[in-house]
Amino acid sequence: MSDVVEKTLTALPSLLSLDSQPGSAKLSTNSKLGSLIRGITELTSKHEEEKLIQRELSSIKEQVSSPNTTMRQMKELMVRTIYCEMLGYEATFSYIHAIKLAQQGNVLEKRVGYLAVSLFLNESHELLLLLVNTVLKDLQSTNLIEVCMALTVVSQMFPKDMIPAILPLVEEKLNHSKEIIRRKAVLALYKFYLIAPNQVQHIHNRFRKALCDKDPGVMSASLHIYLQLIQENPESYKDLTASFVTILKQVVAGKLPMDFNYHSVPAPWLQIQLLRILSLLGKSDQSTSEVMYEILDESLRRAEMNHNITYAILYECVKCIYTIHPKSELLEKAAKVIGNFVLSQRINLKYLGLKALTYVVHQDPRLALQHQMTIIECLDHPDVIIKRETLELLFRITNDQNVTVIVEKMLDFMSINKEDHTTADLVGKVAELAEKYAPDNEWFVETMNTVFSVGGDTLQPDIPNSFLKLLSEGFDDEEENKKLRLFAVNSYISLLQGEPSKLPQRFLQAICWVLGEYSHLREDVEPDLVLRLLVKLLNIKSTSSETKSWILMAMTKLCSGGAPLSVPLEVSETYSSSMDTMLRQRAQELQYLSQNPELQARVLPRGVSQEPMEVDSSLSFLDGFVSEALAAGAAPYKPPHQRQEELSRSKALSLEPYGLSLPISMSSCSIADRQSPTLLSVSSGLSGDRTDHSHKGGSTTLKLDGVRRVWGKEGYLAQRESAEETAPVEAPSPLQPLVQQGDGDASYSQTPTPIPECEQEKQQLASSLFVGLASQSSVCLMGKSEQTSQRFRRKLKDPAASFPSSTQNPLVSPPSSVGHLLLDSSISSDLISSPEQTHLSSVDLTVANGEVELPDRDMKGIKSTLLREDSALAAGSSPHEELDRPKDSCLTSHLPAELSGLPHSEITPLCTSPSLDLSSCHVQKDDSLVLLVFMKSSSDYDIQQIQVQVTCEELEVSCVCDSPVEELKSHGVVVCQYFLTVKSPSVYFVLSGMMSHQIPDNSLQETQFSHRIPLTSFLRPLRLSTEEYGTMWLAFSHDTKQNLPLMMDAEEPLTATLKVLKDKLQLHVVEIIGNEGIVACCLRQDQPCLLHCRVHAGMLAVWLRSPIPELPDCLLYHCQRALQES
């Protein structure tokens, strides 16, 4: 501050003299800003500041909009506005004036204008479009400063859609004679590449030219681009390795002009950039790595430790050496450098040293061992960042022997750390370690308790999920399970007896679940006691309504334990009139079930949860209810995407009468809501509104799917078990002193670093921390290693049996008939959407109901069947390949002659009666789809009077021969053909059919079946010209837009993506121009659908139009799926 005073004192005389000089433009401009600043400094409160700035802004506003304001004044006003904006006061009114200033001012005014624009606006701001012309003009200016300014603003932000307009001009600048212009142009192009990679695809060779530019500055600018390109796709740039090595060689050897030296280090930033590029190129590629060994060695040697910036180079070198294909000589040197970093007194270097150690520890655990004393010291470092980094390192080297110490260190850190972000991160790590390496139950439960209480509500939801999952699934040993659960129950009862109001909500929810499930394990505790504890919890004000739901669920479970009914009744009474629907639902359940022990026993069976459970995800048990409701006049169910569409259609009528495509409407309404029809239909498939509601609201509740599995592969379990039996690991609880930890530890004697005697304590800490590192140095020690033995393991189960394990969770275990009453719907929907689970249930269903396919509403649930369909589709091109099943192959021979050459789907069984097997497939003819029903007799006698009827609401079904099949010979086969045409499109068409035939005693036997055909089977390419397309496009009124994933890894993403669509869905690609493509298809000649595809922001923006209302939506669904699967 003293120099400020000094400076101002010396300036004092001139101030006085200048005051008397009116008309000095400079002073007057500055004095206005000056008085503003002075005004602000005088203020004492934020409130006053606000008032002052608002006053200032309104005066600015007045002036900028006045026609008399000159550009010069405008420039000054703009600077003041920038100042106000910096302080956080928006001045939206000035944006347009900033653009005007950039447009109309002279160079200096323009400069302020551009600066203001780049500070005020962002890439997607609509006003930015007004700047395009100005930029265009300035790019063509002969004044280099204007060109520079234009390039600068372009690289700061430019509307993505307008890039093509200025691209040629910017490209041209790559050949400019001034290096600064070339350099800025390169960076501007890089920026374009970042925001719209496809736009600059064609100028990749220009980048190469920039790399070879004679000016090193331009070359180093082009490295930005190459770093990015190589990161995305190292393979295509391997040929440049030698060039990069040569450049680096020249730089290191000091061949660049002296100008590029920084503290006598030649172009250090350039070196850093090159080293990064090399490490990307050499990663797991021996031959490429070999090219760079020499220069890396040279770099290490040249970078003498004399200045901060050389450390930066060394650090990059080390990282590079450890990333590329290893060479022992270099590794040794690099290890030494890391050592120097870690041991350095300069704290920044220590930090980087630790970071480097963390980076390499999985390759070279010995290195961590070498520096163990330093690491221990860092644990007690006054700088939290260093501590944090050390913990990260320890996390990487955790194994089952040092876990208690490391976790304790982490928990220590968390108790002093106040920052949410770090806490959330660390809590997750502790939970991961605890699950993986916990030495005993007690420790595990206590550690998890700490995790829950410290983590509070910043806790990631998957932590309690996997904890509860672990408790409910258990391990190999039933006895051990019981002990763990019992311990948890004990611990939670005592917690609730303490001060539960201080516990975070997530923790309380977990506690409730455990108590509800397992408190019966503790025989000396009356359920009444637990109930009273829960009631106490319920009455705490801070308990959230979500937690209350959990409490009520726990109570429901407890009531079956023969607890007195008064408490639950009272509670359910209170909450059955709650405003919260979830809570009310729970209260109803509690009331109902507690009064009905029989139902209770069925719904919540206790202790028998080992049986795999079937979930009827199609909710077929509701069919009766639904048909009754329909009969009573209820409206039929519509899947959400259909409702959505109807909604948007009505919206389109009122808002966009001419169906004009505005990009805004496209992104705002349709896309966001329609990302995935699949997802929507799953939630809707569950049941009515209530489910939907809770599904949305349930995002914070426990989710059991998608939880990371951190336990080892089963393969190691048996081995591990025997080891454990013979030599149980003794691990003290974290509360015991550390000193006991390391005794008799092998690695202690192996420690290579000499340790002074006075540091006894640290030594012991070290030995307990680094135990196991030396012995298994060859083993991967990363936290994710599967090879390390783990205490908690999953049960050994055969893969099929392991699916239902998640359903064992008694929360969702009720039999399906009453299930919906008790289902925690959010959880169950999650469960159902987990692929394993649905796979299982769909298989079950297929068997149970004798249906081939599931009803449409359960799209996601039928993964397995969907896959089969696809294979059937794929078989379309080569019809006879897919016939692996003997049954099929014998039926294929019965294909009618006129159809045998056409692609047909896989033959699937429809239904079976005692004497007759029905199978079907569909054959794609050019203009229609033919459904073939194979009737195969399996009886020893002839069957008479077979009649098959097939109907479908959305399809027109016409039978080739209407008369019943008179007779089917014993073990013979008869084929019926049906022509199918689409009446109204749907994602899937479900055909229902009935077959009747006479059995020998002359009575009629009837069997029902259903068959499902995807819309794709009906799709045919529609061949037309671009002009025809254009006329049709305008004529169609029903449209849908959505962004679909683009196949980015292909060379030409658009072409590749369209090809996939073409192959899978039989579309016709009319034309591809630049980043747009038009595609057409039809169901019948009069049912076309046109697609307009455009590459936009790394996505494929698809716009479908058709005269048929439902068609675009249904087709979109299939497009989406086709792309997801490819």
Partner 1 sequence: MIKAILIFNNHGKPRLIRFYQYFAEDMQQQIIRETFHLVSKRDDNVCNFLEGGSLIGGSDYKLIYRHYATLYFVFCVDSSESELGILDLIQVFVETLDKCFENVCELDLIFHMDKVHYILQEVVMGGMVLETNMNEIIAQVEVQNRLEKSEVRPFLSSSKSFPLIYVFGFSQVSAIKYSLSVL
Binding positions for partner 1, 348-367, rule CB under 8 A: 348, 350-352
Which residue, 429 or 1041, is less far from partner 1 as judged by CB?
A: 429
Smallest gap, in angstroms, from Cβ of residue 951 to partner 1? 55
Nearer to partner 1, 24 or 949 (CB): 24
Instruction: By CB under 8 A, tell whether 232 contacts partner 1.
Output: no
- Bridge-based pairing of strands 916-924 and 929-937 is antiparallel
CA end-to-end distance (rounded Å), the chain: 65
Specify the stretch interacting with partner 1 by CB under 8 A; choose among 7-15, 821-829, 924-932, 1088-1096.
7-15
Is 386 a residue that touches partner 1 (CB under 8 A)?
yes
- ∠684-690-692 over CA atoms, to 5°? 35
Sort 100 into a burial class: Cβ within 10 Å, 0-12 / 13-18 / 19+.
middle
Q: Minimum distance from CB of 902 to partner 1 (Å)? A: 54
Query: Residues 6 or more apart from 634 whose CB is under 8 A from it?
Result: none
| 385 belongs to the binding site for partner 1 (CB under 8 A) | yes
Q: Which of residues 28-57 bind partner 1 (CB under 8 A)?
A: 30-31, 33-34, 37-38, 41-42
Q: Give min distance, CB of 114 to partner 1, in A.
A: 9
DSSP class of 237: G
Contacts of 1122 (CB under 8 A, 6+ apart): 1060, 1061, 1064, 1065
* 26 in contact with partner 1 (CB under 8 A): yes
Residue range at the interface with partner 1 (CB under 8 A); choices 94-102, 304-312, 432-440, 834-842? 304-312
Name the segment binding partner 1 (CB under 8 A); options: 381-389, 489-497, 593-601, 729-737. Answer: 381-389
Q: How many CA atoms lie within 13 A of 925 on its CB side?
A: 16
Phi-psi region of 49 (alpha: psi -120 to 50; beta: other; left: phi over 0): alpha
CB of 188 to partner 1, least distance (A): 8
The rounded distance, in Å, linking the Cα atoms of 1095 and 211 is 28
Q: Under the criterion CB under 8 A, does residue 422 sit at the interface with partner 1?
A: yes
User: Which residue lies nearer to partner 1 by CB, 39 or 640?
Assistant: 39
For partner 1, which stretch binds (CB under 8 A), given 216-224, 293-301, 769-777, 943-951? 216-224
Tell me if 383 contacts partner 1 by CB under 8 A: yes
- Give the residue, chosen from 127, 180, 782, 957, that forms a contact with partner 1 under the rule CB under 8 A: 180
Stretch that binds partner 1, among 176-184, 429-437, 555-563, 800-808 (CB under 8 A): 176-184
Check if the beta carbon of residue 932 is closer than 8 Å to that of residue 941. no
Buried b (16+ CB within 10 A) or exposed e, 35-65: ebeeebeeeeeeeebeebbeebbeebbebbe
* Residue 619 CB, nearest approach to partner 1 (Å): 40
At 715, which amino acid appears?
G
Residue among 264, 308, 650, 675 that touches partner 1 (CB under 8 A): 308
Indicate which single residue of 46, 47, 214, 421 sits in contact with partner 1 (rule: CB under 8 A): 421
Torsion sign (Cα): 142, 147, 150, 155 = positive
Structure tokens given for 95: 């944006």
Instruction: For residues 164 and 158, give the distance between their C-alpha atoms in angstroms, rounded to a whole number.
Output: 11
Half-sphere exposure of 751 (CA within 13 A, CB side): 21
Residue in 290, 412, 425, 942 binding partner 1, rule: CB under 8 A: 425
Considering the complex, what minimum distance in angstroms separates the CB of residue 28 from partner 1? 11
CA separation, residue 242 to residues 210, 275, 331 (Å): 17, 13, 22
Site for partner 1 in 90-149 (CB under 8 A): 90, 106-108, 111-112, 115, 119, 122-124, 143-145, 148
* Member of 79, 666, 755, 973 binding partner 1 (CB under 8 A): 79
Least Å distance, CB 398 to partner 1, is 19
Q: Which of 57, 163, 174, 188 binds partner 1 (CB under 8 A)?
A: 188
CB of 153 to partner 1, least distance (A): 9
Residue 505 as a binder of partner 1 (CB under 8 A): the answer is no
Site for partner 1, residues 785 to 814, rule: CB under 8 A: none
* Binding status of residue 262 toward partner 1 by CB under 8 A: yes
Q: How far apart are CA 1016 and CA 1039, in angstroms?
A: 19
CB of 277 to partner 1, least distance (A): 11
CB of 855 to partner 1, least distance (A): 42
Rg (CA), the chain: 36
For CA atoms 820, 822, 828, 832, the dihedral sign is negative
705 contact partners, CB below 8 Å, separation of at least 6: 806, 830, 831, 833, 834, 837
| Number of residues engaging partner 1 in binding (CB under 8 A) | 91
546 binds partner 1 (CB under 8 A): no
Smallest separation (angstroms) from partner 1 to the CB of 385: 6
Q: Is 416 a residue that touches partner 1 (CB under 8 A)?
A: no
Measured over the CA atoms of residue 1109, residue 1112, residue 1118 and residue 1120, the dihedral's sign is: negative
Sheet containing 1004-1014: give its strands across.
965-968, 943-951, 988-998, 1004-1014
Residue pointed to by tokens 């005004």: 39
> From CA 57, how far away is CA 91, in angstroms rounded?
7
Q: Is 395 in the site for partner 1 (CB under 8 A)?
A: no
Write 108-111 long-range contacts (CB < 8 A, 24+): 108/75, 109/71, 109/72, 109/74, 109/75, 110/138, 110/146, 110/149, 111/145, 111/149
User: Please, what is the minimum distance in Å from the beta carbon of residue 130 to partner 1?
Assistant: 18
Structure tokens, 780: 């991967």
Q: Give CA–CA dist 72/69, Å, rounded.
A: 8
| Candidate residues 32, 362, 388, 469; the one interacting with partner 1 per rule CB under 8 A | 388
Q: Shortest distance, CB of residue 292 to partner 1, whole angstroms?
A: 18
Per the structure block, which two tokens stand in for 755?
């340790």
Work out which of 101, 221, 615, 702 binds partner 1, going by CB under 8 A: 221
Q: Which residue from 48, 332, 420, 1028 is in contact with partner 1, where contact means CB under 8 A? A: 420
Judged by CB under 8 A, which stretch of 309-317, 717-725, 956-964, 1113-1121 contacts partner 1? 309-317
Nearer to partner 1, 21 or 1085 (CB): 21
Nearer to partner 1, 145 or 1034 (CB): 145
Rule CB under 8 A: say whether 178 interacts with partner 1: yes
Q: Contact between 85 and partner 1 (CB under 8 A)?
A: yes
Residue 36 vs 619, nearer CB to partner 1:
36
Please report whether residue 312 would count as binding partner 1 according to CB under 8 A. yes
DSSP character string of 386-426? HHHHHHHHHHHT--TTTHHHHHHHHHHHHHH---HHHHHHH
Residue 226 in contact with partner 1, rule: CB under 8 A: no
**Which residue from 56, 213, 316, 435 is in contact with partner 1, where contact means CB under 8 A?**
316
Q: Is 190 in the site for partner 1 (CB under 8 A)?
A: yes
Does 253 bind partner 1 (CB under 8 A)? Our answer is: no
Q: Provide the Cα torsion 594, 600, 601, 605; round to 10°.
A: -110
Q: What value, to the nearest 5°, has the Cα angle with vertex 886 and ends 881 and 887?
A: 105
Stretch that binds partner 1, among 419-427, 435-443, 723-731, 930-938 (CB under 8 A): 419-427
Distance CA 111, CA 108 (A): 5
Query: Which residues, numbered 145-174, are part of the site for partner 1 (CB under 8 A)?
Result: 145, 148, 152, 155-157
The answer to whether residue 218 forms part of the interface with partner 1 (CB under 8 A) is no
- Does position 206 interact with partner 1 (CB under 8 A)? The reply is no
| Closer residue to partner 1, CB minimum distance, 274 or 1104 | 274
